[in-house]
Structure 1
Amino acid sequence: MALLISRALLAELGASHRATKTAMGWTGASERTVKHWLAATHVPQGNHLVSLVRHSDQVLGAILVAAGRGDLRISLELNLVRVKLLELAALLERA
């Protein structure tokens, strides 16, 4: 699980110091704690995990896959496509 969450965070945020600061802001966790998550040596738990899922589609997807519910990722992706299409339609109307 630690590796899944680490990969998800790195895919979403990258490996920079800014990524650490962003995850700290999302969760209220310390810098050391977030660095452990990014290094896959510890797993976020409780409120930290919920906060990460709230802010990161990548982490949510990793949790769904780990729970054997990867099929639900499709509905998340479809919703994202829907939002992008609505944004595009709004831009076209303004043009």
Structure 2
Amino acid sequence: MSPTNKGRNIQSKKGKGFHPSTEGRLGAAAFASAIATALRNDFGEDRSAVKTIAGLTLANERAVKNWFNGINGPSGEFLILLCRHSDTVLETFLMLAGHGELVKVKKFGDVKTKLNEMLLLLGDLEHLNDK
């Protein structure tokens, strides 16, 4: 014999549910599209680009094709690996995260590095001319 239902709430009481604000939220389609654009800009659009990225991230080629086509975006670990290998993906990620100022800081650091390399080359050239 089963127990009676007396005094039990089978359904939860109706009330105001918790719905977090969607204001300023980026949808999955917009994320996938932005990453796809960044990948195509950095790696090109041919089949070898898919193979290159699959090799760099150790992701399945089908998944990488989906990233390129904007069907799905890469998940956490793969997004981190892509950011390591692609400045454009990193910059896109920072912009999507609302940290556009960090893109400027990164570019400033890149320019500083290039200037230091140029100064070393100029120093080497000057040293060769002195001989």
TM-score range, shorter chain: over 0.9
Q: Which has the higher contact order (CA 8 A, sep 6+)?
A: 1
* Structure 2: gaps of 5 or more residues: 1-30, 126-131
Report the structure, 1 or 2, having the larger helix content.
1
Structure 1 unpaired stretches of 5+:
none
Per-residue CA deviation, residues 19-74 of structure 1 (Å, 9 max, x unaligned), is 11221122101111111100000110021111011111111111111111111100
Aligned to 1:15: 45
- Spell out structure 1 runs of 4+ moving beyond 4 A: none
Aligned residues: 95
Match in the other structure for 1:32 = 62
5 Å matches for 1:1-95? 1-95=31-125
In 2, distance between residues paired with 1:76 and 1:19? 25
Larger Rg: 2
Matched residues, percent identical?
Answer: 39
> What TM-score, normalized by structure 1, do the two folds share?
0.94
CA RMSD of aligned residues (A): 0.9
